[in-house]
């Protein structure tokens, strides 16, 4: 009985002695494993990014949006009713004990003009809670005061992108800009936050008091309405309780007795995060399974090469059988050969896949993470593919009749 190590040596020599063909046989596996690794790295990176963005936004947040309205049995869809008001926000802040800060928003898009420069951007009407709830920091100037909100003051805080577009590198604080032809005094500039996980530039924004947005800039279907209320809960453990407090308070304020008639939805950031992560997982699984199809095709390539190799080496098989190789010895020799081919291809593929995901992360600024689990998975799968697709050619070789094999030219 030939030892396993010797079998591997014999197979290794056969691989090395025909480098071109072995290389081509491996290519399919290399591409397959590389694609799987890169796809899984992209998926893992995206999941991680969502997690970090969500936690930077604060996972102890509740988002309240106007809900559906049911009129005559017809449900109108989310946001169809302008049900939330600024006074709801004030009431939440005053009456819910688990809540730290409240942000009410009413936003629109408008052209911002300074001198001969202009820029179209999001005008975010906010309450003073925006700095606590959305974690904004000021680079220059001062935040909104309660007085600004109450009096619908014509003051604005610029995101860095807007500041740069309108003012270049000069200090905008104290300057006057025009929004919808109304003059606003710039009172501050925000610290940059960068891109959001959905690729939107978060710094492309102008903040004004929510009351100013309501009364001076954007018309309202209903007085005092806001488009969303975001609540920061004192701690993560209080999320569920806070959600309950807010829901009960709003039902009471909106005079709703049946929970099914709620004209608002309260969403927990943690739930949103889990949902987003779940969808990323599905996405990366999908990408990974598409990539693994190419791994399968690589396996067929190996089988093809092994079949040719068995035919070509019929005489060698005959000689080995004549001097005492059993069917099992021959079978193992060819199995080891296809296994080695696919595993080498797998190793190269892991390396190239890692390289590809690094290149992607550099070129497109996508976050990628090569997880050890995905390396083990795709490498293991490639080894399995090699052995499975090597089985038939190896079996064919082992069945050869030594006399016929010796006569084969």
Partner 1 sequence: MALIEVKDVRKVYRMDGVEFEALKGVSFSIEKGEFVIIMGPSGSGKSTLMHILGALDVPTSGSYLLDDREITDMTRDELARVRNAKIGFIFQGFNLLPRMNAMENVELPMLYAGHPTAERKRKAEEALELVGLLDWADHRPNQLSGGQQQRVAIARALVNDAPLLLADEPTGSLDSKTGAQVMEMLVSLNEKRGITVVLVTHDSNIASYGKRVIGVLDGLISSDGSKEKVESRVDVE
> How many CB atoms are closer than 10 A to CB 138?
14
Instruction: Compute the least distance from the CB of residue 339 to partner 1, in Å.
Output: 19
If the CB atoms of residues 20 and 323 are measured against partner 1, the closer one turns out to be 323
Instruction: Compute the least distance from the CB of residue 383 to partner 1, in Å.
Output: 25
Q: Which residues of 197-232 are buried (b: 16+ CB within 10 A; e: fewer)?
A: beeebbbbbbbbbbbbbbebbbeeeeebbbbbbbbb
Q: Which residue has the tokens 């987003």?
A: 276
If the CB atoms of residues 12 and 366 are measured against partner 1, the closer one turns out to be 12
381-400 residues near partner 1, rule: CB under 8 A: none
Q: Which residue has the tokens 């000069």?
A: 170
- Say if residues 284 and 43 touch (Cβ distance below 8 Å): yes
Could you give phi then psi for residue 55, rounded to 5 degrees? -75, -25
Instruction: Compute the least distance from the CB of residue 397 to partner 1, in Å.
Output: 13
Helix (H) or strand (E) holding 229: strand 228-233
If the CB atoms of residues 97 and 324 are measured against partner 1, the closer one turns out to be 324
Of 2, 69, 238, 296, which lies in the binding site for partner 1, with binding defined by CB under 8 A? 2
Could you give phi then psi for residue 224, rounded to 5 degrees? 70, 5
If the CB atoms of residues 109 and 323 are measured against partner 1, the closer one turns out to be 323
- Say if residues 134 and 143 touch (Cβ distance below 8 Å): no
Task: Say how many residues touch partner 1, by CB under 8 A.
Answer: 25
Instruction: Compute the least distance from the CB of residue 8 to partner 1, in Å.
Output: 12
Of 4, 13, 76, 137, which lies in the binding site for partner 1, with binding defined by CB under 8 A? 13
Closest to 268 (Cα-Cα) out of 306, 240, 296, 292 = 240
Would you call 258 helix, strand, or coil by DSSP?
coil
Residue 6 found at the interface with partner 1 (CB under 8 A) = yes
In angstroms, rounded to a whole number, what is the distance separating the alpha carbons of residues 190 and 157?
A: 7
Instruction: Compute the least distance from the CB of residue 3 to partner 1, in Å.
Output: 6
In angstroms, rounded to a whole number, what is the distance separating the alpha carbons of residues 14 and 5?
A: 14
Helix (H) or strand (E) holding 391: helix 372-398
310-339 residues near partner 1, rule: CB under 8 A: 315-316, 318-329
Residue 296 found at the interface with partner 1 (CB under 8 A) = no
If the CB atoms of residues 13 and 150 are measured against partner 1, the closer one turns out to be 13
Q: Where are the alpha helices (DSSP H) in 313-371?
A: 314-322, 327-364
If the CB atoms of residues 17 and 257 are measured against partner 1, the closer one turns out to be 17
Using the contact rule CB under 8 A, the part of the chain among 3-11, 143-151, 162-170, 261-269 near partner 1 is: 3-11
The torsion angle over the Cα atoms of residues 145, 148, 151 and 154, rounded to 10 degrees, is 180
Instruction: Compute the least distance from the CB of residue 352 to partner 1, in Å.
Output: 30
Q: Token digits for 349?
A: 């593929």
End-to-end CA distance of the chain: 28
Instruction: Compute the least distance from the CB of residue 320 to partner 1, in Å.
Output: 7
If the CB atoms of residues 14 and 239 are measured against partner 1, the closer one turns out to be 14
Residue 1 found at the interface with partner 1 (CB under 8 A) = yes
Instruction: Compute the least distance from the CB of residue 355 to partner 1, in Å.
Output: 34
Residue 19 found at the interface with partner 1 (CB under 8 A) = no
Instruction: Compute the least distance from the CB of residue 27 to partner 1, in Å.
Output: 23
If the CB atoms of residues 13 and 222 are measured against partner 1, the closer one turns out to be 13
Closest to 45 (Cα-Cα) out of 277, 367, 284 = 367
If the CB atoms of residues 277 and 314 are measured against partner 1, the closer one turns out to be 314
Interface positions with partner 1 (CB under 8 A): 1-3, 6, 10, 13-14, 17, 315-316, 318-329, 402-403, 406
């Amino acid at each position: 009985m030939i030892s396993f190590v010797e079998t591997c040596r014999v197979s290794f020599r056969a691989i090395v002695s025909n480098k071109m063909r072995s290389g081509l046989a491996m290519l399919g596996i290399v591409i397959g494993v590389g694609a799987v690794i890169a796809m899984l790295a992209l998926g893992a990176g995206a999941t991680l990014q969502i997690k970090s963005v969500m936690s930077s936004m604060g996972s102890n947040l509740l988002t309240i949006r106007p809900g559906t309205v049911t009129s005559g049995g017809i449900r109108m869809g989310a946001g169809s009713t302008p049900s939330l008001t600024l006074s709801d926000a004030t009431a939440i802040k005053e009456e819910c004990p688990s809540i730290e800060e409240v942000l009410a928003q009413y936003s629109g898009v408008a052209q911002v003009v300074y001198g001969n420069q202009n820029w179209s951007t999001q005008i975010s009407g906010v309450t003073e809670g925006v700095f606590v709830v959305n974690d904004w920091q000021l680079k220059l100037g001062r935040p909104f005061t309660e007085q600004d909100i109450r009096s619908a003051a014509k003051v604005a805080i610029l995101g860095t992108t807007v500041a740069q577009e309108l003012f270049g590198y000069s200090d905008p604080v104290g300057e006057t800009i025009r929004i919808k032809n109304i003059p606003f005094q710039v009172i501050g500039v925000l610290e940059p936050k960068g891109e959001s996980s959905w690729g939107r530039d978060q710094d492309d924004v102008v903040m004004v008091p929510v009351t100013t947005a309501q009364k001076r800039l954007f018309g309202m279907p209903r007085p005092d309405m806001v488009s969303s209320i975001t609540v920061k809960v004192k701690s993560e453990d209080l999320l569920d309780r806070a959600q309950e407090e807010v829901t009960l308070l709003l039902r009471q304020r909106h005079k709703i007795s049946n929970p099914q008639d709620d004209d608002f939805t309260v969403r927990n950031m943690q739930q949103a995060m889990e949902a987003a992560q779940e969808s990323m997982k599905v996405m990366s699984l999908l990408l990974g399974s598409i990539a693994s199809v190419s791994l399968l095709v690589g396996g067929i390539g190996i089988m093809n090469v092994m079949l040719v190799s068995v035919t070509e080496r019929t005489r060698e098989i005959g000689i080995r059988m004549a001097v005492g190789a059993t069917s099992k010895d021959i079978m193992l020799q060819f199995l080891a050969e296809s296994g080695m081919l696919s595993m080498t291809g797998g190793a190269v593929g892991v390396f190239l896949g890692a390289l590809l995901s690094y290149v992607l992360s550099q070129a497109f600024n996508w976050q990628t993470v090569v997880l050890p689990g995905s390396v083990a998975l795709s490498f293991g799968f490639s080894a399995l593919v090699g052995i499975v697709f090597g089985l038939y050619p190896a079996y064919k070789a082992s069945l050869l009749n030594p006399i016929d094999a010796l006569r084969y030219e």
